[in-house]
Structure 1
Amino acid sequence: MDWTNEQIQAIWEKAIPIPGHSKNEVRMDACGAIIIFKEFTKDKVSFSQYSWTFDIIKPIEKGGEFELINLRPLHTQNAASKGDNYPIWKGIKTHMTSDDGEIMILNINQDVNMNETPDVWSEDDVYF
């Protein structure tokens, strides 16, 4: 499918804004992985540190529909890990900061429940 700029923007805006950073350039996915707008890719195999793609939240095979309400941005590694799992799946990438402010990229391999993801991060949650 060819995505319009409007569709890409609408799905990008579902990602979690990070205080102190441009919401047009940098956000977080449902697992806390940092994603950068210009790193969008149409597939789930082009991994970069901040790449992202669209995820179908409730897979079509499980009764979901290919509509904006059922799409969200996910880091490509998290999207590949999720696959068609729903509502609980393994998130594998997140970002955190160390006590000295360095970004740590973590492979978390933990369950993500669709009903427990934050919709906003506080300034204490992440710096980079």
Structure 2
Amino acid sequence: MIIYTGLKGDLPVQLHFAAVAEEAEVSAEHLRAEVTWLVEHEFLALDGHVGGVARVWVNPSVAFLPGTDPRVAAARHEFPYFDIAKGGMSADDPVIIHPYEREFWDAVYAAQQDLFESPPVFKRCPAHA
């Protein structure tokens, strides 16, 4: 969540491992391991890592800012689209992973354009306070 709340438009999040690890009350090594897992599973993409700071791109099917076109970020790193299966968590495979296809992301955007342009804001979420 700390990474996602650092989103600013269609820019990468500047992840300062030591500072974020301290904020999350975990070791920097633990944070690096979690980020590595998120990258391997295509929730995030890393673009450079120098001096304890990394540029992190977030898969827009996981998090995005209002007014940000998810197709641009998806194309940049060929992010897959994560979808919830019918039946949700009770389904045999609760998450469906659609490999990156430009046409699929175009269809997702067309079907959910209002959500991408003006998503609901959750007043109790600390990131939106």
Structure 2 length-normalised TM: 0.29
Q: Which has the higher contact order (CA 8 A, sep 6+)?
A: 1
The structure that has the greater radius of gyration is 2
Higher helix share: 2
Higher strand share: 1
Structure 1 length-normalised TM: 0.29
